[in-house]
Each structure stands twice: as structure tokens, then as C-alpha cells.
Structure 1
Amino acid sequence: MRKIKYKKGRKVQTSFLEYTGVHKYTQTESQLFVYNDTDLAEFHEIEVSEMEKHVDLSKVNWLNVHGLNDPEFIKQVGEYLEVDNFMLSDILNTNKRTKLDEYHDTLFFNIKSLLPDADTNNISVEQISFILKNGFLVSFQEKRSDFFTHIRERIRTHSGIVRTKNADYLLFLLLDAVMENFYITIEHEEDHVEELINLSKHSADLKILEQIEKHRDNYNFLKRSIIPLRDSLFSIKSIKDDNIFNAIEPNNYTFFERLHQKSLELLDQIEYDLTTLDSASNFFFSTQSHKMNEIMKTLTVVSVFFMPLTFIVGVYGMNFKYMPELEWKYGYFIIMTVMFALLLIMIRYFKKRRWY
């Protein structure tokens, strides 16, 4: 049985808000959308103290925050929404796994956004968190990115049905946009895996095996990131069944069920790709073994060719006084002819049996 080791890490108290991610030099910025089917207002670099005069709870309000290096701003947003401190702590603590919390009239959702690193074979990770309460949606990103650019444009241009829906549908769109990054990452990994499989068919370089194991680690990391997302999306069904939490409209639960189905498809694809990687590593080892067998076969055949010749040389290398062949005039030429003929017979026999 594999022993599970406890890894001690720095504890973050919920009463003390501190950002634990890697983007520690990203400036905190905010953007507020207030819209419905007929009206749209957009505000940039808005302070929490100014939100009261711009927020309209009869419309959809979406506050998007880039950068989590200002815990005081995050705390002010939490106080404005009257959400519990542990949710704010989970927003700033990027070591948390994907989770969904339903607390009174508040829905908290955080998710890991994964994208391939352009310069290495690593996967870059960003935690994105959402708070949905009373038609007010807040999204928290560790850094500025273009995940939601197309959604902003759909809101601005009144494209699709987003302006006719409530904040829960907007949450679906944002989650769907983040999940698209999983597809991009998996496709990027599959391209590398296909290249490695082709290389393994023509090369025995051990670096290929190292790359295979690296991408296997990437797939396992993807899997560990998607499984809690799948569980969180499935738990939305329990929210639907309890008939208490009403932040999500009954007609919009089907959209979140689609996201759950997507997570299942992603996990199936990862399992398939892991099987492909197993096949690639097995093929690599089989090729190595086959080449070693061919080398051993060649060495064995060569040694067998020389075994009878060595025997004959050994016999006539003995220092007996009475060996009649040693006195023959043509003894040397006869023995060399016999040895050469024996070698030709063995070569012909081995070739006929296809031993080389």
C-alpha cells in the first residue's frame, strides 16, 4: 500500500485576508456592467464607495475585478455584498481546489483556468472566483486576460440572449468561457503527444521518454483540476432539487447541466489521451527491447560462426608430439579449406532458417 505523506504548508486564516498566488505585482482594477434588455452602462476603475449610485438591482450587475493584490478592495466588495469572510479568504487563497458553496442567498464558485505555457511544456494556472447574490455577479481574476472579451462584446452589441437573461445566465457564460481553456490545453497536449509518438517510431532517444512522462504529468494535473469542477457542477443539481436557493432560475439549470456534461467529456478525453501515452511509452520500450534483441541475435550468430572454427584451432593448437596432420605438406591448406567450407555451410543453413 502506498504511504500517504502529509505535506505541511503555510496556513491562511480566514480572518486575515492575504493573496497567496504568483501574480503579486498585478494592479487591482475593476469594471462594472449594469444592463438589461434595453439599457447598458459601463464603468471602469470604479471604487466600492461609488457603486451605490451606479448599481441597479432591477438590472444585471456584473463587477469584474482584475488583480487580487489589494485585499482591502476585496474586503470592501465583500462588505458591500454582505458575504462571509471565508468566501473572501477562498478568493485570495489560490491553493484551494475548485469548489462550490451555497450559503443563504449567496452562491460562491471558484475554478482553475488552465492554459498551455507558450515557452515551456508546463501549464499555467489562474484561479477565477465568482460570487452570485441577488442579481449581482462579481468575478475575480488574478490577472488581466481575454477570457471574457467575447462576452463583453456580446453585452455591448446586444448579441445573443445575454441581455435578456439574468445574472445566473451570465455566470454560465463565464464558466463556459473558462472551460474552453481546458479544450485548448488538451488540444495543445495532444499535438505534442502525436509528435512524440511519431518520434518514438524513428528514434530511441531517452529524451522522448522524458517528454512522454512530462505530458503524462500534465494530463494528470488536468484531471485533478477537472474532477472537483465536475463534482461542483453536479452539486448544482442538489441546489435545484432543494427548492430553497433561488439565485438560479429553474429554466437556466439546463445550461449548468451542459457544463457538467462538458466536464465529463473532458475527463473522457483525458483518459483516452493517457491511454495513448501509455501506448507510446510501451511502444518506446518495445522498440528498445526489439533493438536489444536484434543486437544480441547478431552477436550470438557471429559467435556461433566462430565456435567450430575456434574448436579446430584449439585442437591443432595442442602441444602433442604425435599429430600426423602437423607433418603433412598440404595440412595447412586442407585445414583452412575445411574451416572456410564449414563457415559457408553454417551461413547457408542459418540463412535458410532465417536466423539473421
Structure 2
Amino acid sequence: MRKIKYKKGRKVKPTILEYTGIHKQVKSEMQLFVYDTDDLTEYAEFEVSQMQYCLETLKVNWLNIHGLNDIELIKSLGEYFNIDQFTLGDILNTTKRTKLDEYHDVLFFNIKSLLPIENTDNIGVEQISFLLKDGVLVSFQEKRSDFFTHIRERIRTHSGIVRDKKADYLLYLLLDAIIENFYITIENEEDRVEELINLSKSSTKPQVLEQIEHHRDNFNFLKRSIIPLRDSLYSIKSIKDDNVFNAIEHENYSFFSRLHQKCLELLEQIEYDLISLDSASNFYFSSQNQKLNEVMKTLTVVSVFFMPLTFIVGVYGMNFDNMPELHWKYGYFYILGFMFILLIGMIVYFKKRKWY
């Protein structure tokens, strides 16, 4: 799991554009979809120089960028769409938390997409940013991924209502696809947690507790990622109430409300999973204490068995002259037999009282 290093993020100067992600060897590529109900044009290898010729104001324009290490490309896009330096810095600075900014004619959305890393217990993080302006939706991804493959196919095949809607509905679909990744991640974590709960009931190895704490960190990280997303989606309601920002159609605000509701469901599920992990931790410690109690109980019983025997040995180990038993011909065997009978009697007595 790649943790967000906020200290590193603060060192990035707002006047200097710098990509802070880990995918610095990924070549920047652009893809453009221009569509409406009746027509679709797709540009697989798009260049900034083609912008003024390919974008159509009466259609939906979706420009998708893979790879953020080409700073000059990001600057060129910022100049073309008249995006300020601070917003471009937020696109490149992957240490920033999820946020929503509304300007006069631009809606900027910054979000973290999380997915489990295969064959590990870690969570992969990718920052995705969106700019919505004048019927144009620009999405920025750190690397090429299949988050939006099904949406591209829906556009190509005219499936559903995506071709009948504007760019704001497309933004809703993209955000919904990212939120689905949260569901996948949480489901994967829940499967691991269920295995841990079963393991904690049969094993008292320290590794079990380490795994429990690791998954607790994963759920807390998920929570930290979803809370700002929930707040950002809720703030879209204030945009609706202001009646100033027109990039989102009035009837489409309900779709973003659904996303907000999904975030609430995710947070509730995470809280439940954290409680399950607490139960697993408590059960682990209870098992450890129970095991320790059994050991102490066994040691105590053994000590009690030998206490009277040790006392007898101590008495006859004293070097006094006036001890007639020391001169008995069979005194050793008498005492040894008495000690054996005493031990057996104590064992039978303890057994009847169920003390062990």
C-alpha cells in the first residue's frame, strides 16, 4: 500500500509544476472521444495541436490522458483550457487528498482510485483528476488502466443513455467506476479478514496479530480515502443550490447524490469490518490469556503436588541426633511409601474437585 506522504506534498511549490507520483517512466498519451446521439469520432493517438480542429462545441468531448510525467503536455493543456497554475499543480501532485473545486466555468475533481495488489495484502493507489468545462471532460490518469474500458465500450456501441447525455453524465459514470473499485477492494479485504478471524480461533502465533493490524491499517486507509470523496460529492449539492455553475444539468444532480449514498454505504461497511477486526484481536488476546492460564494452572497443580513431599524430605534431611526414625531398619521404605500414597491421594482429590 502506497501511503500518502503529506510532508513531501507540502514541499512542492505551487509555482513549479512537478509530478510526485511513482509512474515516472510511463509515456504520456492522449485519447479523444467526440460524440453525440448520432455520431462518434475516436482519436486513439491525439496531439494538443489537433485540439482546435477536433473539439466540437455541440458534442461531448472526452479527452483522456495516460501518464502525467510530461510536464510540457500538462502546461499546454492548461493554456488551451485556461486552467490556473494551482489546479495544474494539484493534478500533478499525487499527495493531495481528494477534493472538489468549483470555478466560474470549470469543475475540478481530484480522486484516489484504490485496488488490491495481486498476491499481496497491500492496496494500490492511483490518482485520477477530472476537468469539466464547456462540454469538455478531461481526465488525467497516472498510467494506462482498465478502469473505464466498459464506459468506452458503451460509448462505442451506443449502449445505455451515455450518448444521449452531456459531459456531466459522463463524469458521473467515471466517478461511479472508480467507486466500484472501492467495493472490489473492500470485498477483497473482507475475504482476508474472514480468513484471519478463523485463523485467530485456531492459532496463537504472533504473525496472526501482525496480519490483523496490517488489515486494520488498510481499512483505515480506505476510510481516509472515502471520507473526502463523500464530502466532495456532498458539496455538489451546494453547487446545485447556488444555481451559478451550469456545467451540470439540473436533472443529473440526482446521479451524484447516488454516488454520495454509495460513499456512506462504504464507510458503514468499513466501520463494521473494523469492529470485526477488533473482535478478532480480542479473541486472539483472549486465546493467549487462556493458554497462559492453562500453563499457570498446570504449573500450580504440579507445585502443590510436590509441596508436602518437599516438606517431608526437608524434615528428614535435618541432622538432629534425637530422630528415632533415622535408625529404623525399614524407615526409608516407610517414608517413601507414605510419600507415594500421599501423592496418589492428592491426585485423586484434585481430580474429584475438577481442579485440573
Q: TM-score range by the shorter chain?
A: over 0.9
The aligned residue for residue 281 of structure 1 is 281
Cα deviation code 1:114-173 (max 9, x no counterpart) = 111114322111000000011110000000000000000000000011011110000000
Instruction: Give 1:331 shift.
Output: 2.1
Distance 1:88 1:8, change over 3 A: closer
Distance 1:304 1:211, change over 3 A: same
Matching of residues 55-134 of structure 1 within 5 Å: 55-134=55-134
Distance 1:94 1:315 in 2: 79
Instruction: Give 1:12 shift.
Output: 2.2
Distance 1:141 1:275 in 2: 34
Distance 2:109 2:7 in 1: 26
Query: Quick one: which amino acid aligns to residue 203 of structure 2?
Result: S
Distance 1:103 1:160, change over 3 A: same
Cα deviation code 1:210-252 (max 9, x no counterpart) = 1111111111111111110010000001001111111111111
SS at match of 2:11: coil
Count of matched residue positions in the alignment of Structure 1 and Structure 2: 351
The aligned residue for residue 224 of structure 1 is 224
Matching of residues 111-260 of structure 1 within 5 Å: 111-260=111-260
Query: RMSD over aligned Cα, in angstroms?
Result: 1.3
Identity between Structure 1 and Structure 2 (%):
75
SS at match of 1:271: helix
Instruction: Give 1:341 shift.
Output: 1.5
Query: After alignment, is 140-149 or 316-325 more displaced?
Result: 316-325
Report if the CA contact (8 A) 2:18-2:92 is conserved: yes
Instruction: Give 1:330 shift.
Output: 2.9
Aligned: 1:26 with 2:26: yes
Distance 1:43 1:15 in 2: 32
Report if the CA contact (8 A) 2:32-2:42 is conserved: yes
Distance 1:99 1:9, change over 3 A: closer
The aligned residue for residue 269 of structure 1 is 269
SS at match of 1:210: helix
> Where do 5+ consecutive residues of structure 1 fail to align?
1-5
Distance 2:311 2:284 in 1: 41
Distance 1:211 1:137 in 2: 41
Distance 1:152 1:104 in 2: 29
Distance 1:9 1:16, change over 3 A: closer
Distance 1:192 1:24 in 2: 32
Instruction: Give 1:8 shift.
Output: 6.6
Report if the CA contact (8 A) 2:8-2:95 is conserved: no
Report if the CA contact (8 A) 2:9-2:95 is conserved: no
Matching of residues 268-347 of structure 1 within 5 Å: 268-347=268-347
> Where do 5+ consecutive residues of structure 2 fail to align?
1-5
Distance 1:8 1:249, change over 3 A: closer
Distance 1:104 1:338 in 2: 100
Query: Quick one: which amino acid aligns to residue 275 of structure 1?
Result: I
The aligned residue for residue 3 of structure 2 is none
Distance 1:140 1:8, change over 3 A: closer
Query: Quick one: which amino acid aligns to residue 193 of structure 2?
Result: V
Distance 2:303 2:275 in 1: 41
Cα deviation code 1:68-121 (max 9, x no counterpart) = 111111111122212222111110111110000000011000100011111432
Query: Quick one: which amino acid aligns to residue 142 of structure 1?
Result: E
Query: Quick one: which amino acid aligns to residue 242 of structure 2?
Result: D
The aligned residue for residue 3 of structure 1 is none
Query: Quick one: which amino acid aligns to residue 344 of structure 2?
Result: L
Cα deviation code 1:12-68 (max 9, x no counterpart) = 233322211110000000110011111100012211221211111111110000001
Distance 1:79 1:213 in 2: 47
Instruction: Give 1:9 shift.
Output: 5.6
Distance 1:242 1:273 in 2: 38
TM-score (norm 1): 0.96
Query: Quick one: which amino acid aligns to residue 135 of structure 1?
Result: G
